[in-house]
Homo-oligomer: A and B are copies of this chain.
Amino acid sequence: MSVVLAEILRAGAVESRHTGAFAVADTDGRIVLCGGDPERAIYPRSAIKALQAIPLVVSGAADRFGLTQAELALACASHAGTPAHAAGAAAMLLRAGRDAGCLECGTHWPSSSTAARALAAAGEQPSALHNNCSGKHAGFICTAVAAGRDPAGYVRPEHKTMREVTDAVAAVTGTDLAAQIPGTDGCSIPTYRIQLGRLAAGFARFGTGLDLPQGFADAARRLREAVAANPSMLAGTGRFDTVVTEALGTAAFVKVGAEGVYCGALPTLGLGFALKCDDGAARAAEAATAALLRHFLGQHAVLDRLAAPALTNWNGLEVGRIRPCLV
C-alpha cells in the first residue's frame, strides 16, 4: 500500500512519478499522520545514524576522548567527503589512538562530485576517510576503544560494540531486533528492518528525550545540538540535510538514508517521522520530507524551495519541476 509522494513535471506533463509510504508519530507511538502502511518494515539504512551514535555518548567514550561538537555531528553524518569531513573522521580516530587503518567501511570517491574532482586534481586517491560513513565508523571505534575492546570486526552484528548499537536502536524504536537476520549496509554494518511507525515514534523520543532512559535522553540532546551547531558536518554544503538544518536549527532533525529513506524529529511538536520512497529515489524522498516539514512547521522559504525544486537543464533553462503530493 503506497501513496504518491512526488511527481516530476516537464512542460506541465507528468514525466515520472514516485510512490511510497510515511508515518508521523508521537513518543507514545500514536500515528498522527500517515500515507501508506505505517506498519511497513523498511531498512532505514543511514537514516538512523543518530540513534546508532547514542552509545558513543552514553558510554562516556565521547567525553573520555573529548570529542568536539563537530565530531559528534560527523558521527551522525552521511557526508560529502570534503577535506573537512575526512579530517574530522581522522581527528576522531586519533583521539582514540587509532587511524584510518581501523576503518572497516570501505573506500569510495567523495559523494560530492566537486570534492571528488578536487581530490583527483590534487593527484590524490580516496581513502576510507572519504567514505560518507567514516564519521559513524570512527564513532564506533571510539566506543569500542573506550570500553577497552579491540575494535577489529566492529562491523559484524555480533561484535560487542555493534550489539550495543543495535540494542540502542531497538530500545529507542521499541523494536525487537535480536531475532532478525539483518541485511548488510553499504558500509558493511548490519541494517535491520523496522516499521515506519516505530521509526517515527523512535525519532519523536530522540527529538524530545521523552520515554527514554535519562542517559539516552541526554545523549540525544547532545547529538541534536551538535548537529544543529554544525549543519555542514551532517551532509555538506548545499545538500538537503545541511540546508534544512541551517534553516531550522533545533526545530527539526532530518537524516537521509539510502534507497529513498528519511527519518527525523520535530522536537517542538513532540513528533517524529519516517518516510520510504518505494523506488529508492532521493529526489522524491527529499521533496516529500520538505513538504512534510512545511505541513507541520508552517511556511518557510527554504522548505518551499526544497519541496518543489525547479528542474533546469545544461543551459540553465527551467524545463520542469518536482511536485510533492503527500500532504
Contact in complex: B319, A185 (CB < 8 Å): yes
Contact in complex: B314, A188 (CB < 8 Å): yes
A contacts with B: majority SS = loop
CB-nearest residue of chain B to A10: B183
State the CA gap A120–B114 with chains docked (Å): 10
Known contacts: A11-B181, A181-B11. The answer to whether A314 contacts B120 by CB under 8 A is: no
A117 within 8 A of B: yes
A193 within 8 A of B: yes
Contact in complex: A43, B181 (CB < 8 Å): no
User: Interface digits, A119-153 against B, CB 8 Å rule (1 contact, 0 not)?
Assistant: 11101000000010000000000000000000000
A60 within 8 A of B: no
State the CA gap A317–B156 with chains docked (Å): 13
A63 within 8 A of B: no
CB-nearest residue of chain B to A318: B184
Complex interface: stretch among A29-37, A69-77, A103-111, A286-294: A103-111
Known contacts: A185-B319, A279-B279, A279-B284. The answer to whether A117 contacts B109 by CB under 8 A is: yes
A186 within 8 A of B: yes
Contact in complex: A182, B108 (CB < 8 Å): no
A8 within 8 A of B: yes
CB-nearest residue of chain B to A5: B279
- A11 partner, pick from B17, B184, B187, B320, beta carbons under 8 A: B184
Contact in complex: A183, B279 (CB < 8 Å): no
Known contacts: A8-B259, A118-B120, A120-B121. The answer to whether A13 contacts B187 by CB under 8 A is: no
CB distance from A43 to the nearest CB of B (A): 5
Contacts of A309 in B (CB 8 A): none
A113 within 8 A of B: yes
Contacts of A280 in B (CB 8 A): 8, 15-16, 281
Contacts of A117 in B (CB 8 A): 109, 116-117, 119-120
Contact in complex: A188, B313 (CB < 8 Å): yes
Q: Closest 7 A-B residue pairs measured CB to CB? A: A106-B314, A11-B183, A117-B120, A16-B280, A279-B279, A106-B315, A10-B183
Residues on A lying within 8 angstroms of B by beta carbon are: 8, 10-11, 13, 15-19, 42-43, 104-109, 113, 116-121, 123, 131, 181-188, 191, 193, 259-260, 277-281, 284, 313-317, 319-320
